[in-house]
């Protein structure tokens, strides 16, 4: 190994060890045996910390193994979405990705089953540790569980040696899980402490090579071999005279010990505690360490690092999942500055919105959308009027997908509005080509209300209608409760929403948006009509700036095939990110195809020509905006 300590690290931190898929029971207060549905998320202490630190603004990476299957790809893709460097995420062709089944029975009981027999991450060995990658980070995090087996311990030991040679920091998260050390059966996953001289012997050997040691009181006990917290701290201090030791104390916050251990544990360095309702403690330690590392690696005071850590832990215990619930730095800053009126932070709508808006999946910066989500009540009369069979309409929607693909040329930023009824096959085809997709919520379908968004893939946007015009099928004031509920269901499932807001006579789009914001609606996107005046656009921008600066933006409706100039003018507005064309693109082609005047290829060409004309106008407007900027 050649020292390159003079080279500035490209990453702040690399975590090493477990990565799994967590399956969380969604029914709170029951036995794991009685769970009826589960939420899926990335789990495992190192994976959680990699995501948690990335959300807080650190440049993080992960070293682990995943299986060559769907769950392994999910972990890798989620890491990429979170901005985590994945050069150290290795695919194991012979083993499956680890799974964990979890539940919440009450505020003290959290049943947990590790499904880790011969799993991918447990096969990590020295061959997975690349010197250049480890040396690229200012610090590495090794975790206690991966010292339980000889080959995983050797892998972490190699990473620690590399870090030392290159002048990097070594962080040790004790992360004690007795049954992963073989001390308890499969059903004892929630056990946090079992005394073991063997485990203590392993962990004591790690301590001298660490710069930062973090654990709960019970974890410090197992690492030191003493069930007196003060004595355990003194043992660890003798083993690692220069290390910073941090003791996590749950609702009492944490205490840090940079030097000699005092006579009273409370005489260490402390940050403010944040008393919140305990909803689920699983993953709280990972969020805690993420917060601490955000401060420690950025040169903040120990008090500030402890405050970050305690606050992040408070977020985690007040929410259900692990990595998805880790706060972003914007969310953390808001909480530390403003606080929350809720002890159950998951009920704080302001924090929830910041969390949602700052953890959304990456999306195209601009959108060119072909809409053909019209139902049978709209399109069947067209077919019948031409003497054609309405049963042909689903096939035409598939042609519309081909038209969109022809215009996109494989580029990002193209998408469609499709439905799951007449457009079901078209939806499957569009999804296979990775088009951006939105689906209109079935307003008025109260019997199937709750199931619709839950059945949709999480990356499909839920489109809602807020039509304030006299010709609306349902008056807006009667539709608002349904819109609120649909948004809540969608948001709970991690889905984004778009609201089509059409102002009524005597009103303006800006006034309607302000009213909808006043009703508590904060969609990710607004679908609106183009404004005729600069004042109209300025009023809309002022409403968004006041109510939701985190809104993704505005999508403008193309009223006709000749709307190019209008779309170009709208595209030059700062908050406009896209346009959508519907009947203006497909209407004539549908009639020609149903009547037999156009074959499939001709219908595709006709739609593609109109769509591309509007797309070019939109792109011209975007270039105009960038030129002015």
Q: What is the pLDDT of residues 214-252, one digit of tens each?
A: 999 999 999 999 999 999 999 999 999 999 999 999 888
Proportion of the chain above pLDDT 90, given as a percent? 80
- Look up residue 481 and give its two tokens: 């409760």
User: What is the model's pTM?
Assistant: 0.92
Q: What is the per-residue pLDDT across 507-554, written as a single tens digit (0 to 9) for each?
A: 999 999 999 999 999 999 999 999 999 999 999 999 999 999 999 999
Q: What is the per-residue pLDDT across 115-157, written as a single tens digit (0 to 9) for each?
A: 999 999 999 999 999 999 999 999 999 999 999 999 999 999 9
Q: What is the pLDDT of residue 7?
A: 76
Q: Which of 552, 480, 491 is nearest to 517 (CA)?
A: 480
Q: What is the per-residue pLDDT across 323-349, written as a single tens digit (0 to 9) for each?
A: 999 999 999 999 999 999 999 999 999
Q: What is the pLDDT of residue 127?
A: 98
Q: What is the per-residue pLDDT across 39-73, written as a single tens digit (0 to 9) for each?
A: 999 999 999 999 999 999 999 999 999 999 999 99
Q: Mapping DSSP to helix (H, G, I), strand (E, B) and coil, where does residue 408 land?
A: helix
Q: Where exactly are the structural domains of the chain?
A: 12-19+45-94+117-358, 367-628
- The CATH number of 12-19+45-94+117-358 is 3.40.1190.20
- Look up residue 269 and give its two tokens: 């360095």
Q: What is the pLDDT of residue 443?
A: 67
Tell me the DSSP string of 188-251.
GTT------HHHHHHHHTTGGG-SEEEEEHHHHHHHHT-SSHHHHHHHHHHH-TT-EEEEE-GG
Q: Which of 320, 239, 308 is nearest to 282 (CA)?
A: 320
For residue 3, pLDDT over 80 is answered with: no
Q: Which of 268, 283, 365 is nearest to 325 (CA)?
A: 283
Proportion of the chain above pLDDT 70, given as a percent? 95
Q: What is the per-residue pLDDT across 585-628, written as a single tens digit (0 to 9) for each?
A: 999 999 999 999 999 999 999 999 999 999 999 999 999 766 66
Q: What is the per-residue pLDDT across 378-426, written as a single tens digit (0 to 9) for each?
A: 999 999 999 999 999 999 999 999 999 999 999 999 999 999 999 999 9
Q: What is the per-residue pLDDT across 358-384, written as a single tens digit (0 to 9) for each?
A: 999 999 999 999 999 999 999 999 999
Among the ranges given (165-179, 416-430, 477-491, 533-547), the one the predictor scored with the smallest mean pLDDT: 477-491
Q: Average pLDDT in the 13-24 region?
A: 96
Task: Please tell me which residue, 108 or 448, carries the higher pLDDT value.
Answer: 108
Residue with tokens 């099928």: 473
Tell me the DSSP string of 148-175.
SSHHHHHHHHHHHHHHHHTT-EEEEE--
Q: What is the pLDDT of residue 255?
A: 97
What architecture is domain 367-628? Alpha-Beta Barrel (3.20)
Q: What is the pLDDT of residue 624?
A: 77
- Residue 479's Cα: distance from chain center in Å? 29
* Average pLDDT value for the chain: 93
- Look up residue 148 and give its two tokens: 């339980």
Q: What angle do CA 149, 150, 155 make, to 5 degrees?
A: 100
Tell me the DSSP string of 436-482.
EEEEE--TT-GGGTTHHHHHS-TTSEEEEEEE-STT-SS-HHHHHHH
Rounded to a whole number of angstroms, the CA Rg of the chain reads 28
Among the ranges given (114-118, 166-170, 355-359, 468-472), the one the predictor scored with the smallest mean pLDDT: 468-472
Q: Mapping DSSP to helix (H, G, I), strand (E, B) and coil, where does residue 281 land?
A: coil
Q: Which of 322, 342, 318, 321 is nearest to 492 (CA)?
A: 321
What is the band of 434 on the pLDDT scale with cuts at 50, 70, 90?
confident
For residue 449, pLDDT over 50 is answered with: no
């Amino acid at each position: 190994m050649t020292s390159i300590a003079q080279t500035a690290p490209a990453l702040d931190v690399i975590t090493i060890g477990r990565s799994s898929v967590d399956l969380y029971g969604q029914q709170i207060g029951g036995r794991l045996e009685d769970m009826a549905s589960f939420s899926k998320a990335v789990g495992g202490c190192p994976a959680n910390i990699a995501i948690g630190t990335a959300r807080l603004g650190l440049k993080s990476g992960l070293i682990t193994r995943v299986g060559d299957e769907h769950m392994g790809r999910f972990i890798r893709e989620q890491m990429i979405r979170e901005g985590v460097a994945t050069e150290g995420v290795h695919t194991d062709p012979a083993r499956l990705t680890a799974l964990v089944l979890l539940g919440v029975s009450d505020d003290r009981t959290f049943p947990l089953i590790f499904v880790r027999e011969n799993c991918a991450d447990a096969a990590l060995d020295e061959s997975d540790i690349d010197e250049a990658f480890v040396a690229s980070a200012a610090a590495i995090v090794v975790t206690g569980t991966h010292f339980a087996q000889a080959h995983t311990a050797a892998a972490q030991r190699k990473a620690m040696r590399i870090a030392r040679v290159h002048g990097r920091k070594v962080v040790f998260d004790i992360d004690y899980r007795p049954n992963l050390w073989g001390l308890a059966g499969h059903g004892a996953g929630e056990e946090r402490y079992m005394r073991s001289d063997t485990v203590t012997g392993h962990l004591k050997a790690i301590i001298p090579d660490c710069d930062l040691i973090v654990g709960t009181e019970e974890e410090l006990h197992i690492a030191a071999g003493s069930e007196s917290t003060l004595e355990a701290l003194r043992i660890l201090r003798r083993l690692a005279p220069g290390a910073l030791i941090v003791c996590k104390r749950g609702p009492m916050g944490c205490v840090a010990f940079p030097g000699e251990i005092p006579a009273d544990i409370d005489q260490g360095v402390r940050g403010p505690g944040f008393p919140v309702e305990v909803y689920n403690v699983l993953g709280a330690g990972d969020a805690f360490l993420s917060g601490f590392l955000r401060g420690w690696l950025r040169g903040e005071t120990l008090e500030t690092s402890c405050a970050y850590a305690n606050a992040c832990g408070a977020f985690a215990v007040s929410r259900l999942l692990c990595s998805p619930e880790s706060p972003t730095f914007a969310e953390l800053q808001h909480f530390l500055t403003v606080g929350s009126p809720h002890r159950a932070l998951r009920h704080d709508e302001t924090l929830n919105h910041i969390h949602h808006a700052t953890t959304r999946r990456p999306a195209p910066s601009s959108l060119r959308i072909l809409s053909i989500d019209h139902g049978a009540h709209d399109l069947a009369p067209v077919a019948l009027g031409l003497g054609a069979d309405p049963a042909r309409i689903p096939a035409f929607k598939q042609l519309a997908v081909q038209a969109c693909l022809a215009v996109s040329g494989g580029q990002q930023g193209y998408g469609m509005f499709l439905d799951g009824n007449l457009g079901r096959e078209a939806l499957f085809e569009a999804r296979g080509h990775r088009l951006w997709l939105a689906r209109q919520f079935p307003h008025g379908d109260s019997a199937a209300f709750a199931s619709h968004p839950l059945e949709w893939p999480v990356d499909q946007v839920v489109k809602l209608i807020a039509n304030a015009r006299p010709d609306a099928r349902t008056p807006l004031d009667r539709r608002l409760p349904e819109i609120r509920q649909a948004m809540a269901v969608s948001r709970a499932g991690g889905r984004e929403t778009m609201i089509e807001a059409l102002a009524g006579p005597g009103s303006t789009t800006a006034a309607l948006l302000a009213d909808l914001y006043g009703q508590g609606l904060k969609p990710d996107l607004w679908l609106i009509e183009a404004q005729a005046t600069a004042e109209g656009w300025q009023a809309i921008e002022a409403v968004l700036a006041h109510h939701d600066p985190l809104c993704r933006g505005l999508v403008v409706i193309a009223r006709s095939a000749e709307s190019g100039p209008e779309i170009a003018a709208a595209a030059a507005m700062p908050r406009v990110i896209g346009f959508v064309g519907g009947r203006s693109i497909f209407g004539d082609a549908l009639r020609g195809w149903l009547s037999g005047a156009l074959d499939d290829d001709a219908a595709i060409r006709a739609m593609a020509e109109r769509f591309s004309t509007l797309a070019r106008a939109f792109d011209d407007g975007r270039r105009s905006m960038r030129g002015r900027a």
